[in-house]
A and B are shown apart, each in its own frame.
Chain A
């Protein structure tokens, strides 16, 4: 992850869209008739997380949307933020959504697994969007200390 300065409102805007998509996905997965649709939507969400985790938020489609549609309506940001924290959050999103997607590919029998994993992803994304909850602040150190991720 390389350091870059970005408008902090960009990732939060993305988190709002992600939250809505994830909540929709839980709704679709709840009914077995729409379960395949939930898996398809989840594939898209997972791919979007992958873009964010690998290339960073500024290369993300939501980043473009923010720059073209939202940013012109706003005043200049009070301060810029390091691009690494939101990129880390995208990585966590990718892992959670990836687990959910694996359940989805295993089939309807794993409906509950998919719903739980998508719900967890929604939780983090919603807290980020609504409360400015930062995963990099809350869980990075715990994971690093446990040796799960490397500094």
Chain B
């Protein structure tokens, strides 16, 4: 029986897509340490919370989340951080929509949303999380700052 090359092609395609999906799932939402990170200017990024401008960083950690209108996982990510804000002391979550602030996306080199910058108490960028953060990643990040 001759091998059906078309069948082989679609099985190969399915295999490749699955492989890509597994690798993506495993690598997304991890934190990358940033050495010599910049200090965030709250005014420049136009950070607001409940309609009011944010003027102070979290006492220990600030999660600065960049979102966009076409991003479905951003909302879920924001929910996780908001929950965390309530349960952990000194944690602040700020969400900035870059849909109409491409200047910020360019400045911070953001290619995907959500991208979260983890800031210390002075607002200096300590690490960066691309994609929806894993629960374990968030816990580790807090562990770095909360004493």
Main secondary structure of the interface of A (DSSP, over half): helix
Q: Is B105 located at the chain interface by the 8 A CB criterion? A: yes
Please, which residues of chain A bring their CB within 8 A of the CB of B13? 23, 26, 119, 122-123
- Among B3-11, B40-48, B54-62, B81-89, the one that faces the other chain is B3-11
CB-CB under 8 A for A136 and B71, given A141-B113, A144-B102: yes
Residues of A within 8 A of B113 (CB): 137, 140-141
**How far is the CB of B85 from the nearest CB of chain A, in Å?**
18
Given known A-B contacts A122-B13, A126-B14, A85 and B72 have beta carbons under 8 A apart: yes
Majority SS of interface residues in chain B? helix
Question: Which residue of B10, B25, B102 contacts A26 across the interface (Cβ within 8 Å)?
Answer: B10
7 A-B pairs besides A122-B17, A137-B114, A140-B68 with CB distance below 8 A are A84-B69, A84-B70, A131-B25, A136-B72, A137-B112, A151-B99, A151-B100
Q: Which residues of A are interface residues toward B (Cβ below 8 A)?
A: 1, 8, 23, 26-28, 30-31, 79, 81-82, 84-86, 88, 115, 119, 122-123, 126-127, 130-142, 144-145, 151
5 A-B contact pairs sorted by A residue (CB < 8 Å): A8-B72, A23-B13, A26-B6, A131-B24, A151-B102
